[in-house]
C-alpha cells in the first residue's frame, strides 16, 4: 500500500472511531445502564447531551487551530486525546462521572470533521467519491458502536466498550504521527501567509453564494435532527420493536451453537449494525451521483426517500419494522455527504477547515439539542410520534433543496498571498 492510500485509510479510520466513540453510550444506556444504575432511559440521555454540545462547540476552534498550526498535527491530537478520554470514561462509577467523560470525548471528537474533511477535500480531486467513502467509514463507526457494545455487554461488560477502542485509537494516533511527522514539522515552522484582498465579487455572485449558504446551514440543522434521532435511538427502537425477532434469532443461533445463552442484546446490536452498514452503501451511490448530477437533484431524491419511510414506520414491529428501518436509514445516511460536497466546492481552500468548523458547530449543536427532544417525545408519546416528526423534518429539507441553484458558485481565484 503506497503512502497516499495509507494516508486516506488512516483518515477513514479516524472517521470510524469518531462516530463509534460518540455512540457507545447510546447502546450502553439503552441495554444496560438503565437497569444497572436504576436510572430511566430518558433521564440517562441528559448525561449525554453536554458531550454532543462539546462535539459541536469545539469544532470551530479545532478548525481554526488546524488552519493556523497543522491539520495533521490536530489529527494526532484527535486520535490520542479521544482514546485517553474513552479509557477514563470506562472507569466511571456514576451518571455524573460518565457525563463528564462523554463531554471530554465530545471535545476531542469535535476535531475530526472540520480537520479531516478539510484534508480530504483539499488533497484529492474526486471530491464526491472521497467524501462518500470517508462517510461510509463514519457510518460503519455508528454501526460498530451498536455491534461491539452489544457483544461486550453479553461477554465482558460495558466498560470494555470504551476502554478497548480507546487503546486502539491511541495506537493509531502514534502510527499517524510517525507517517505524517514531516508534514507536521513543516506546518509548524512554515510562515503563515496573510490573505490578500481580491476584487470584490459581483452582486449576483454574492446573492447566489448567500442562497447556497443559507440552504446548506438550514438543511444541516434539520438533517442533524434526523441523523441523531435515527443513530442514537435505533438500538432502543430495536429493543422495543424487534424483541420477537431478536428472541427467535437468539434461540436459533443457540440451537446451532448448542448453547443456551440467550444473548438478545448481541442480536439487537447485530441487527442495528447490519442496518447501519447496509445503509452506508447509500453514501457511495450518492457520491457518484453528486460528481455526475450535482447536489440539487440528488438531495431531493434522498429527502423523498426519508419522507416515505419515516411516515410508514409508526405501528410496525419485527420483520416489517426492520425492512422499513433499512429504508429510512438509506435516506438518513445518503444525505450526509451532500452538504460537505457543497462546502468543498464553494469554500476557499485557505479557510476550508474553519468553514467546516462552522458547519459542524451548527450540526452538532443541533445533535445535542435533539437528545432532549428524543427523551421528551419518547417519555410522553413513544417512538411513533418521533417518526412523524422526522417525516416532517425531511419535508422541510425537500422544500429548501428545491430552491438550490442548478450550478453551484465556485470560489473566485484570489491573487497570490503576501507573506
Query: Residue 384: which CATH number?
Result: 1.20.1250.20
Residue 209 lies in a domain: yes
Residue 410 lies in a domain: no
Q: What is the pLDDT of residue 88?
A: 95
Residue 198 lies in a domain: no
Residue 415 lies in a domain: no
**pLDDT tens sequence for the chain (419 residues):** 578 889 999 999 999 999 899 888 887 887 788 778 888 877 888 888 888 888 878 888 888 888 788 889 999 999 999 999 999 999 998 889 999 999 999 999 999 988 988 888 777 666 667 887 888 888 788 777 877 887 777 777 888 888 889 999 999 999 999 998 888 777 655 555 554 455 566 677 677 777 888 888 899 899 989 988 888 888 888 888 888 888 888 777 766 655 445 567 778 878 888 888 888 888 888 888 887 888 888 999 999 999 999 999 999 988 899 999 999 999 988 888 888 788 767 765 556 667 777 777 788 778 778 888 888 998 899 999 999 999 999 999 999 999 887 776 665 554 444 43
Residue 412 lies in a domain: no
Residue 199 lies in a domain: no
Residue 32 lies in a domain: yes
Q: What is the pLDDT of residue 181?
A: 85
Range of the domain at 308: 3-186+205-401
Three-state SS letters, the chain: CCHHHHHHHHHHHHHHHHHHHHHHHHHHHHHHHHHHCCCCHHHHHHHHHHHHHHHHHCHHHHHHHHHHCCHHHHHHHHHHHHHHHHHHHCCCCCHHHHHHHHHHHHHHHCCHHHHHHHHHHHHCCCHHHHHHHHHHHHHHHHHHHHHHHHHHHHHCCCCHHHHHHHHHHHHHHHHHHHHCHHHHHHHHHCCCCECCCCCCCCHHHHHHHHHHHHHHHHHHHHHHHHHHHHHHHHHHHHHHHCHHHHHHHHHHHHHHHCCCCCCHHHHHHHHHHHHHHHHHHHHHHHHHHHHHHCHHHHHHHHHHHHHHHHHHCCCCCHHHHHHHHHHHHHHHHHCHHHHHHHHHHHCCHHHHHHHHHHHHHHHHHHHHHHHHHHHHHHHHCCHHHHHHHHHHHHHHHHHHHCCCCCCCCCCCCCCCCEC
Residue 409 lies in a domain: no
If one counts the domains in the chain, the total is 1
Amino acid at each position: 500500500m503506497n503512502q497516499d492510500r495509507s494516508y486516506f485509510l488512516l483518515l477513514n479510520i479516524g472517521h470510524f472511531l469518531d462516530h463509534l466513540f460518540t455512540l457507545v453510550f447510546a447502546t450502553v444506556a439503552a441495554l444496560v445502564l438503565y437497569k444497572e444504575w436504576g436510572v430511566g432511559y430518558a433521564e440517562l440521555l441528559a448525561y449525554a447531551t453536554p458531550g454532543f454540545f462539546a462535539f459541536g462547540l469545539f469544532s470551530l476552534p479545532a478548525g481554526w487551530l488546524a488552519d493556523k498550526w497543522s491539520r495533521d498535527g490536530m489529527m494526532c491530537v484527535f486520535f490520542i486525546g479521544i482514546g485517553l478520554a474513552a479509557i477514563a470514561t470506562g472507569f466511571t462509577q456514576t451518571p455524573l462521572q460518565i457525563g463528564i467523560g462523554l463531554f471530554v470525548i465530545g471535545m476531542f471528537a469535535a476535531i475530526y470533521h472540520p480537520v479531516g474533511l478539510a484534508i480530504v477535500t483539499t488533497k484529492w480531486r474526486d471530491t464526491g467519491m472521497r467524501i462518500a467513502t470517508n462517510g461510509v467509514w463514519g457510518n460503519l463507526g455508528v454501526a460498530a458502536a451498536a455491534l461491539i457494545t452489544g457483544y461486550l455487554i453479553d461477554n465482558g461488560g460495558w466498560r470494555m466498550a470504551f476502554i478497548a477502542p480507546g487503546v486502539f485509537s491511541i495506537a493509531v494516533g502514534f502510527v499517524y504521527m510517525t507517517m505524517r511527522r514531516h508534514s507536521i514539522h513543516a506546518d509548524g515552522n512554515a510562515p503563515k501567509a496573510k490573505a490578500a484582498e481580491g476584487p470584490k465579487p459581483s452582486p449576483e455572485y454574492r446573492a447566489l453564494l448567500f442562497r447556497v449558504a443559507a440552504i446548506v446551514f438550514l438543511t444541516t440543522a434539520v438533517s442533524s435532527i434526523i441523523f441523531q434521532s435515527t443513530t442514537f435511538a435505533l438500538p432502543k427502537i430495536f429493543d422495543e420493536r424487534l424483541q420477537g425477532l431478536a428472541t427467535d434469532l437468539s434461540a436459533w443461533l443457540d440451537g446451532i451453537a448448542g448453547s443456551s445463552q440467550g444473548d438478545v442484546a448481541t442480536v439487537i446490536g447485530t441487527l442495528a449494525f447490519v442496518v447501519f452498514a447496509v445503509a452506508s452503501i447509500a453514501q457511495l451511490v450518492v457520491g457518484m451521483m453528486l460528481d455526475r448530477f450535482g447536489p440539487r437533484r440528488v438531495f431531493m431524491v434522498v429527502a423523498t426517500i426519508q419522507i416515505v419511510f419515516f411516515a410508514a414506520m409508526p405501528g410496525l414491529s419485527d420483520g416489517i419494522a426492520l425492512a422499513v428501518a433499512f429504508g429510512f436509514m438509506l435516506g438518513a445516511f445518503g444525505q450526509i455527504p451532500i452538504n460537505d460536497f457543497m462546502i468543498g466546492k464553494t469554500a476557499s481552500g485557505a479557510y476550508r477547515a474553519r468553514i467546516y468548523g462552522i458547519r459542524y458547530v451548527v450540526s452538532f449543536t443541533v445533535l445535542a439539542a435533539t437528545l432532549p427532544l428524543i427523551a421528551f417525545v419518547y417519555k410522553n408519546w413513544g417512538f411513533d410520534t418521533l417518526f412523524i416528526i422526522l417525516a416532517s423534518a425531511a419535508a422541510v429539507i425537500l422544500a429548501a433543496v428545491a430552491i438550490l441553484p442548478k450550478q453551484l458558485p465556485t470560489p473566485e481565484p484570489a491573487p497570490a498571498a503576501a507573506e
